[in-house]
Every structure is written in C-alpha cells, then in structure tokens.
Amino acid sequence: MKVFFWVIIAVVIGGLAYIRLAPSDPAVWNTDPQVLSDQDLRDGVRRRFEGDEEMMARLERIILSSPRTDKLAGSVEEGRVTYITRSKWMGFPDYTTVQLVDGDIELYARLRFGRSDLGVNKARVDGWLEKLGQ
C-alpha cells in the first residue's frame, strides 16, 4: 500500500512539473487567431475591434503589466504577438494571440491543458480591454 501511495505522489508531481515546464512552440501558438466576431468559448475567448498599431502597442503594455505574463513570440511591428499567462498556483499556461488585420485588432485567448478555463480568459481579456477603453 505504501508503494502505491508513493507512485501516486510521483505521478502527480510529474504531471505538475510537465504543466509548468512543457515547452511552448511558437509555431503552434503564434498563429492567425481567425477572429470573425466576439465569442465566449468554453476554453477561451475571441474579441475583434477597430484598432491600429498604436492601439496594439498600448494593449501590449497593458498585457505585459499583468501578473505572470510574458511574450512568447511576435511583435507589434510584425502585426502579431502571442503571450503566455500562467495561473498563480499551478502554473497552467493560457495563450493570448493579438493580431492587427485591415484596421481591426483580433484577440484570441485560450487554454492549453483541460477542457474549460472556467471563464478565466474572458475575465482577463475583458479587464485588458476595459483598461484600453474598449
């Protein structure tokens, strides 16, 4: 019984380590968000609104000032940027891609692990857009 307990503990610790340390491939995550309209999804959120490069730069400053958020790939000058925000306790990564297309800013925030983000991405993105004035 003791061995079984330690095997379970090792599996849990290994799973948590994988979640925290798994590499984030920019080729997978820094892709066209394909936002046609605002959508609240089970695993994330999509937003589209009028904007330009200056507004995208302001949004980047807001995003990067968020706790546990770093840039994964891209730049405002390139017209597409992807950010990783990790949950406070477990370190679950959420990916947010922001893209400027034909005078619109497209934003797609989604989880990596699991089926539902329980509204975390929606709350985060809506908070960013509120600070931006959208």
pLDDT tens track for 30-79: 999 999 999 999 999 999 999 999 999 999 999 999 999 999 999 999 99
Specify the pLDDT at position 46.
97
Exposure string (b/e) for 39-59, b if CB count within 10 Å is 16 or more?
eeeeebbbbbeebeeebbeeb
Question: Under a CB-based contact definition with an 8 Å cutoff, are residues 44 and 117 in contact?
Answer: yes
Query: For 25-132, CATH number?
Result: 3.30.310
**The pTM is what?**
0.89
pLDDT at position 134 over 80: no
The phi and psi torsions of 95 (rounded to 5 degrees) equal -115, 135
What is the residue-averaged pLDDT of the chain? 93
Dist. CA 112–CA 35, nearest whole Å:
18
pLDDT at position 90 over 90: no
Which residues are 110's β-sheet partners? 44, 95
Which residues are 98's β-sheet partners? 81, 107
Dist. CA 92–CA 87, nearest whole Å:
5
pLDDT tens track for 93-122: 999 999 999 999 999 999 999 888 899 999
